[in-house]
């Protein structure tokens, strides 16, 4: 009888140890899963969200492959439009790009950067903070200038390899080229031309070119936004 009691006690202890081991494994699994999930969320936050082609006309390519309405646009993608072609890309339902014909851009969310290598792009950003880390700036780079964006409507055209036209349509941009830095803030179009002369960049005021109020209004309406214009003589 005594021996039987000891065996029963041993079985109970063994079962207890097994249960405790399983509990420890379960807790460890939950902790590791939480860390991985949190890390994954942070990574997505860092490199921006996927975008999608919302409209296109003509021949548009993503990484050399033909795009269609609904094609996804991700970090690292290269988007190009051919002659007589254009497209619109929406990110996070609150940020939109309109790429005109013969345009080439590179999406670099991991670097908080978009490279505009040629062509022209109009944009309206209303939810930029959901694409890049809070407090940081999205940089738009061209061969001769760069613009820092915190949320605004703007238009950029690479006129040629030495000239870039940048218009702050509504909002603010921090423009830079070489040692030249220009902080623009306006409610109705303020444009500059950046011209490379030798190793220097010359900056000059430019008028309202290539785009109109109606173009930017139409773009904003695609993401259910309205640009708060305060018109003045240009």
d(CA 163, CA 206): 12
Q: 88 and 187, same structural domain? A: yes
Q: 9 and 70, same structural domain? A: no
- Does 103 reside within a domain? yes
- Does 227 reside within a domain? no
Q: 90 and 72, same structural domain? A: yes
- Does 177 reside within a domain? yes
d(CA 82, CA 13): 75
Q: Which residues are bridge partners to 61 per DSSP?
A: 66, 80
- Does 231 reside within a domain? no
DSSP string, 76-119: T-EEEE-TT-EEEEEETTTEEEEE-TT-EEEEEGGGTEEEEEEE
Q: 99 and 66, same structural domain? A: yes
* 205 burial via Cβ count (<10 Å: 0-12, 13-18, 19+): exposed
- The model's pLDDT over 160-175, given as tens digits with 9 standing for 90+, comes to 999 999 999 999 999 9
State how far Cα 151 lies from the chain centre: 11
Q: 136 and 21, same structural domain? A: no
Whole-structure pTM value: 0.78
Q: 213 and 200, same structural domain? A: yes
Q: Which of 31, 47, 63 lies at the terminal end of a domain, its last residue?
A: 47
Positions in the chain whose pLDDT score sits under 70: 1-49, 128-132, 233-234
Q: 164 and 75, same structural domain? A: yes
State residue 150's pLDDT score: 74
d(CA 160, CA 143): 9
- Does 226 reside within a domain? no
State residue 195's pLDDT score: 95
- Does 133 reside within a domain? yes
- The model's pLDDT over 169-211, given as tens digits with 9 standing for 90+, comes to 999 999 998 888 999 999 999 999 999 999 899 999 999 999 9
- Does 107 reside within a domain? yes
Helix/strand/coil for 168: strand
Q: 74 and 156, same structural domain? A: yes
Q: 168 and 107, same structural domain? A: yes
Identify the CATH number of the domain in which residue 143 sits.
Answer: 2.60.120.1440
Q: 129 and 105, same structural domain? A: yes
The widest CA-to-CA distance across the chain, in whole angstroms, is: 105
Q: 16 and 78, same structural domain? A: no
State residue 26's pLDDT score: 52
- Does 113 reside within a domain? yes
Residues of the domain holding 10: 1-47
State residue 94's pLDDT score: 87
Please count the structural domains in the chain.
2
Q: 25 and 129, same structural domain? A: no
């Amino acid at each position: 009888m005594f021996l039987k009691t000891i065996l029963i006690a041993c079985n109970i202890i063994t079962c207890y140890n097994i249960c405790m081991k399983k509990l420890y494994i379960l807790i460890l699994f939950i902790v590791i899963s939480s860390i991985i999930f949190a890390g994954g969320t942070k990574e997505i936050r860092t490199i921006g969200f996927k975008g999608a082609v919302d409209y296109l006309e003509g021949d548009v390519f993503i990484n050399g492959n033909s795009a269609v309405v609904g094609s996804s646009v991700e970090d690292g993608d290269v988007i190009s439009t051919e002659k007589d072609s254009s497209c619109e890309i929406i990110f996070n339902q609150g940020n939109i790009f309109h790429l005109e014909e013969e345009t080439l851009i590179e999406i670099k969310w991991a670097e908080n950067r978009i490279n505009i290598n040629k062509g022209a792009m109009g944009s309206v950003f209303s939810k930029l903070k959901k694409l890049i880390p809070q407090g940081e700036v999205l940089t738009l780079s061209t061969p001769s200038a760069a613009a820092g964006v915190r949320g605004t409507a703007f238009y950029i055209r690479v006129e040629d390899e030495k000239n870039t036209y940048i218009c702050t349509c509504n909002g603010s941009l921090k423009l830079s080229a070489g040692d030249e830095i220009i902080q623009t803030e306006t409610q109705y179009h303020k444009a500059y031309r950046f011209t490379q002369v030798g190793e220097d960049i010359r900056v000059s005021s430019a008028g309202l070119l290539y785009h109109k109020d109606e173009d930017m209004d139409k773009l904003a309406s695609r993401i259910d936004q309205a640009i708060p214009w305060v018109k003045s003589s240009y």
